[in-house]
Structure 1
């Protein structure tokens, strides 16, 4: 029987990125019958031991995304891997902490509020039981993901439920953030949409609701509560410290503790210009003439996005790396993706507008660029950068595959790439720069940025005014305050000068 039809999405509200595919933002789409996975396997005969398996967790801020956005066929075929892309519940269906559900579990794991993570665990268990039919080797399973998928990957890397389900992990553009059950339910420290507040809005006339009441709520009722003021973006927790899926100590503390994840190999990295995806089409920073975007204030845009992107890297890569090196962990590999060869599209400097932005590395990992950004793809991936882009993609797939085969990226599958050293193999953390030969190529580089450096640079910047510094610091705290609590005082300090 052929299985070539993409599964229904898990329920989600469409956003601005969907407009690149001609889909109106703000619509509730999807079906609760969505827990399916896509499998891509090489066309040849597997070796006796089987092919390594890579299980991909998609990104999307834990509120958006689906398996159909990713095509694992080229990665599987060219690198002799089995690639598995599961869907998992997202939004309020994926993470909701409430005593009502804990008091009436239908399954022992129902006392956990991390339903989306449990879906990922179930996918890994399915792989363990069934992937041999597709030529996969259950002794070489790598979990990898991007953005919220990378956050989930880091959470599952330290989860007591997954210790035998995969042997290594790759986290692309993730930050090891988790919150307590109390904060998820009652708010505090900038937590949006605490579950007690949302659930009260679902049952304004029934404060004595129980688990069955929650389980039978219509999707419209559930999702409408998250958009009274904003039809597109809302926030739910990515990982809740429940002591079941996520350790009580939290993801960062567990990751940083000796043998907190059985010392399984880990690759983590970020893109140089992560923040530009989120502000390159924001009306505060950019305008549009006849549909062509332009940057309103280049100095403010550059300073703002640089500060956020650097903070993303420090909290997601540099600080975890330093902690793991202190714990004498040798199986850590880090990278920074630097490709920014979009060039000009008509009169738009796309290299400046987007550069090495968030999610832009994903097609390089999968080896397929067709329509990844929908209508915007022609601005980013085109004939002028194709040759070098495909070369870098082949190199990255080779490194990722070698990690799946051996637990270390080494010199890639063919042994002909620059040696990707462990971050602990030299004095101080080091990282692999991923770029084309046109702009320095593959190379190891120092990775010594810090929050102190970022805050000092922003405070002393002469490129922007006091109000713009305050705006930048506030956004840094809003996005990364859970990972870096000192940003709150920094924002307060800069904003007191306005």
Structure 2
């Protein structure tokens, strides 16, 4: 008489003999069954949704291993997103039970083995986001299907805590912060331990992410806790040394949150905060939306400073996950291949909040706003730094600057300060510390398709923040109503080829997929990059990205003495 274990083993064997399906997979927590879907030309894909990589996390505690399960886990539906603020005032969405991951495994005629693995870390200012992104009907923003199929790679997307639950810190060991980073690390470690059962190569894992996800990717390669867990990393529009990545004085904001939830602010603060309802903690760490009286037709945040100064919840130097400032930890990434880049108008979304008239041709923006924005970004350095910045940014203006010049300059300032200059700094730090690790730089310049006459964005619009993500995930192939033109499919094909080649070999030019231009490595003597665009060819290989502006933010302004604490 066969025992239950033998029956399960036979069942697993029968389900896995199919040439086009993994069937039931045996993970460290137990058996999981996903969904096998048919693609074109006889190809198939196994999709696993909602596999737990850790237990339900306790408030302000590192993630713990999942205890496992007895029956076969049905992995055919996405799980709850991590608890976070909703778009509606004083509302939340999601759950504290959210540490799950999703896996897309392409099977081209036979069950895959030793495939490159790409692990996606989502963005959202460390406040919002999920492993699936926006879900509308069958549209899933971060579905890995197209990237996995066209790139012939396994794609994994992971959940992690955001907002107060993920990043609040008192600056002390009892409530150290970085819980969202520890969640990411737990997911990456789970993938490394289990992905071989899904046909992946645990020695060939690439992290990739965008915005706060890109900064997270960069932080993961710098942490000493991740030795040997992955081989490569792609940071899109966000790196570890962006001015918004590291919270310098976390206790100040923790005190604000504590006061909102009626906790003391002395030595009892951390223990009190751990007892507060998670929903109340999330709400206490958010800011409110309101209508700006000066622009009554536009809803946006009522801010006295640029929105950058309101991004209070982010990673901290905790002496554990991050033992020092990220700029001093790049030696830990010496053997990691690294791609980092930005979109040419990454700052537009932030300029639209700080100056909502930027998007309206008939609504002028006073030229004084340029100086006001630069003053906000240089306020800890004083008037001399402001004048240095102002003289550079207005150097290309007409004698009487046009509205287009003023508005584009505001976007350029936000792009350079928040993303571009710091990404160049991270690339240089990586290249300078590299041993076997290779370094690559890019600039996405494909104009946003919502820009132009009678569209919500101005006609001069370039690539906005997050515009890169749909191309990487192949949306022009699956959402033709949103991306109707051949140029959209061309660019998506190029980016998938570069990203998948890099994941396979560490070289975006080599890996079986053809690319439109040879992407050179970045180093301190040749600051080369590719400009990603649907029209790209070999002439789109450039060097010295916005050299004078990078030098301004990375060298000139830091050289002035502080007049107030940063």
Separation of aligned partners in 1, 2:177 and 2:530: 37
Report the CA distance between 1:347 and its aligned residue. 1.6
What SS does structure 2 have at the residue aligned with 1:34?
coil
Alignment gaps of 5+ in structure 1: 16-23, 104-110, 188-192, 456-479, 493-498
Match of 1:61 among 125, 129, 153: 125
The corresponding residue for 1:462 is: none
Report the CA distance between 1:44 and its aligned residue. 3.2
The corresponding residue for 2:166 is: 94
Report the CA distance between 1:26 and its aligned residue. 6.0
Where do residues 90-169 of structure 1 align in structure 2 (5 Å cutoff)? 90-98=162-170, 102-103=173-174, 112-169=176-233
Separation of aligned partners in 2, 1:204 and 1:421: 54
Deviations 1:56-80 (A, max 9, x none): 0001111011122211001111211
1:236–1:228 CA distance, 2 compared to 1 (3 A): closer
The corresponding residue for 1:73 is: 145
Matched, 1:219 2:295: no
1:442–1:118 CA distance, 2 compared to 1 (3 A): farther
Separation of aligned partners in 1, 2:520 and 2:434: 15
Deviations 1:21-74 (A, max 9, x none): xxx466321111111111111033667752111000001111011122211001
Report the CA distance between 1:150 and its aligned residue. 0.6
Match of 2:454 among 340, 347, 357: 347
Contact 2:221–2:332 (8 Å) recurs in 1: no
The corresponding residue for 1:310 is: 416
Alignment gaps of 5+ in structure 2: 1-32, 35-74, 134-141, 291-300, 302-306, 366-402
Separation of aligned partners in 1, 2:78 and 2:163: 21
What SS does structure 2 have at the residue aligned with 1:348?
coil
Match of 1:428 among 517, 523, 526: 526
The corresponding residue for 2:469 is: 362
Where do residues 266-415 of structure 1 align in structure 2 (5 Å cutoff)? 266-280=338-352, 284-286=356-358, 297-327=403-433, 331-340=438-447, 342=449, 347-348=454-455, 350=457, 352=459, 354-369=461-476, 381-383=482-484, 386-411=485-510, 413-415=512-514
Deviations 1:403-455 (A, max 9, x none): 1111111255334542211113x942100111112x66773101243465775
Separation of aligned partners in 2, 1:199 and 1:6: 33
Separation of aligned partners in 2, 1:391 and 1:371: 13
* Structure with more relative contact order (C-alpha pairs < 8 Å, separation 6 or more): 1
Match of 2:314 among 238, 242, 246: 238
Contact 2:444–2:468 (8 Å) recurs in 1: yes
With normalisation by structure 2, the TM-score equals 0.67
- The structure with the larger Rg is 2
Once superposed, what is the RMSD of the aligned Cα atoms?
A: 3.6
Report the CA distance between 1:197 and its aligned residue. 3.3
The corresponding residue for 1:190 is: none
What SS does structure 2 have at the residue aligned with 1:171?
strand
What SS does structure 1 have at the residue aligned with 2:183?
helix
1:28–1:491 CA distance, 2 compared to 1 (3 A): farther
1:32–1:317 CA distance, 2 compared to 1 (3 A): same
Separation of aligned partners in 2, 1:422 and 1:140: 20
Separation of aligned partners in 1, 2:168 and 2:470: 32
Matched, 1:443 2:540: yes
Separation of aligned partners in 2, 1:387 and 1:48: 31
The corresponding residue for 2:239 is: 175
With normalisation by structure 1, the TM-score equals 0.75
